[in-house]
């Protein structure tokens, strides 16, 4: 009896029409649909929006948020958060500018920026894991302050002029209208896709976010996985420093102010959950682009600069609401599936 049920259940085709399944799929690609809607709205309101030059602008303005958001996504998947990315970016840029003042070597400057970022990330991760802190909020809030302070101290509070050619190219160069930083983001996104969906490490970050205790019992190296996402987030801040200081030809201790909020917003708009274990590279990228498009659209339409943060805030609330709806639909789906078997 029970066994015949089972056999029947196993034979049922998985693709039969299924309303909650459809709803789930819609919600999963929801951020993408929202981006398309925003692009259509911007294009119909402003004739300039879809010109190649403006698209190039949007891409280069979104590049830093996108890079930081890709890494912030990894952190948030493991139930963490990295509040220090903006300050780390500034510190990396200042270190890069200081290195440039004593050597003209482009690769060395880039390396210094990346290493500074990764080092701050390593500190975040290690202090969080080995200090047995209940949540990374505190440690990354502390590094937010410390890294900004170091950047101010090292630079004497002044912007430092000058960056090697290779950095200026990465931050400000373009192939026709398509900015090099856009290629960089695309490359990093592909790498992120490989990491999160194909490599064992990617499986581990989802496992750690879904059930940290279970992951530990399943012999996943939880501590190393957690430290690694903060290192990558710091490294991303270093890459963000290369882009920003290349575009502005110098390093300033004021770079990246409030960037942490933009990146977290991008990841949340992209449907990742603070409860961990959920979120995709593609949607984080969509979230970053959405913020870029909304900003750019508002600029083109001459929307008051003071109004812009309010709009971004409203979009975040909308995105989180979408996540709540997803939770409810999943709950219903679960009840229905349970009833079928």
Partner 1 sequence: MNHPTPPALAVTGATKRFGAVLALDGVDLAVHHGEVLALLGDNGAGKSTLIGCLSGVHKLDGGAIHMDGEPVEITSPTTARAHGIETVYQDLALFDNLDPAANFYAGREVAGPRWLPRGLRYMRRGAMAGVTAEVLSRLQVGIPDTRASVGLMSGGQRQAIAVARAATFASRVVILDEPTAALGVRESRRVLELIRRLRDEGRAIIVISHAMDHVIEMADRAMIMRRGRKVGEVIPHADNRERIVSLIVGGDG
Q: Which residues bind partner 1 (CB under 8 A)?
A: 2-3, 5-7, 9-10, 12, 14, 198-201, 203-204, 206-207, 209-211, 213-221, 224-225, 228, 277-278, 330, 333-334, 337-338, 340-341
Q: Output b/e per residue, 222-250; b: 16+ Cβ within 10 A.
A: beebbbbbbbbbbbbbbbbbbbbbbbbeb
Rounded least distance, CB 271 to partner 1, Å: 13
With respect to partner 1, which residue has the nearer C-beta, 213 or 304? 213
CA distance 15 to 32: 23
Nearer to partner 1, 53 or 332 (CB): 332
Nearer Cβ to partner 1 (218/317): 218
Task: Report in angstroms how near the CB of residue 221 gets to partner 1 at its nearest.
Answer: 8
CB of 326 to partner 1, least distance (A): 12
Tell the smallest beta-carbon distance from residue 199 to partner 1 (Å). Answer: 6
- Residue 300 or 320 with smaller CB distance to partner 1: 320
Closest distance of CB 226 from partner 1, Å: 13
207 or 294: whose CB is closer to partner 1? 207
DSSP 54-114: HHHHHHHHHHHHHHHHHHHHHHHHTT---TTHHHHHHHHHHHHHHHHHH---HHHHHHHHH
Between residues 301 and 335, which has the closer beta carbon with respect to partner 1?
Answer: 335
Phi, psi of 316 (to 5 degrees): -60, -45
Cβ distance to partner 1 smaller for residue 258 or 338: 338
- Least distance (Å) from partner 1 to the CB of residue 277? 4
Inter-residue contact 269 to 316 (CB < 8 Å): yes
All residues at 6 or more sequence positions from 84 whose CB lies less than 8 Å from its CB, including other chains: 120, 124, 140, 141, 143, 144, 147, 234, 237, 260
Query: Which pair of structure tokens corresponds to residue 31?
Result: 């951020």
Nearest distance from C-beta of residue 278 to partner 1, angstroms = 6
Q: Which two tokens stand for residue 156?
A: 């004497």
What region, left, alpha or beta, does residue 176 occupy, with left being phi > 0 and alpha being psi -120 to 50 degrees? left
User: Around Cβ 33, how many Cβ atoms within 10 Å?
Assistant: 12
């Amino acid at each position: 009896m029970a066994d015949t049920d089972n056999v029947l259940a196993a034979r049922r085709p998985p693709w039969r029409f299924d309303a909650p399944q459809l709803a789930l799929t819609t919600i999963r690609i929801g951020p993408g649909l929202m981006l398309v809607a925003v692009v259509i709205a911007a294009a119909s309101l402003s004739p300039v929006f879809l010109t190649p030059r403006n698209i190039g602008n949007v891409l280069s303005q979104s590049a830093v948020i996108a890079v930081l958001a890709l890494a912030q996504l990894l952190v948030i998947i493991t139930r963490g958060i990295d509040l220090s990315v903006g300050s780390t970016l500034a510190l990396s840029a200042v270190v890069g500018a200081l290195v440039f003042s004593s050597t003209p070597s482009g690769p060395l400057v880039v390396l210094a920026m990346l290493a500074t970022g990764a080092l701050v990330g390593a500190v975040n991760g290690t202090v969080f894991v080995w200090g047995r802190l209940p949540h990374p909020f505190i440690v990354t809030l502390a590094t937010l302050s410390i890294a900004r302070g170091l950047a101010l101290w090292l630079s004497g509070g002044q912007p430092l002029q000058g960056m090697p050619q290779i950095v200026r190219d990465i931050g400000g160069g373009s192939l026709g209208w398509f900015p090099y930083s856009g290629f960089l983001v695309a490359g990093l996104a592909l790498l992120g896709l490989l990491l999160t969906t194909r490599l064992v490490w990617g499986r581990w970050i989802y496992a750690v976010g879904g059930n940290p205790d279970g992951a530990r019992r399943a012999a996943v190296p939880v501590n190393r996985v957690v430290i690694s996402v903060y290192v990558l987030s710091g490294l991303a801040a270093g890459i963000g420093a290369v882009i920003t200081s290349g575009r502005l030809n110098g390093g300033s201790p004021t770079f990246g102010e409030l960037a942490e909020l933009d990146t977290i917003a991008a990841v949340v708009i992209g449907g990742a959950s603070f409860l961990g274990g959920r979120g995709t590279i593609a949607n984080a990228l969509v979230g970053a682009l959405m913020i870029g498009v909304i900003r750019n659209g508002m600029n083109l339409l001459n929307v008051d600069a003071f109004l812009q943060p309010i709009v971004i805030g409203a979009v975040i609330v909308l995105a989180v609401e979408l996540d709540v709806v997803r939770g409810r639909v999943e709950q219903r789906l679960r009840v229905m599936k349970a009833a079928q078997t």
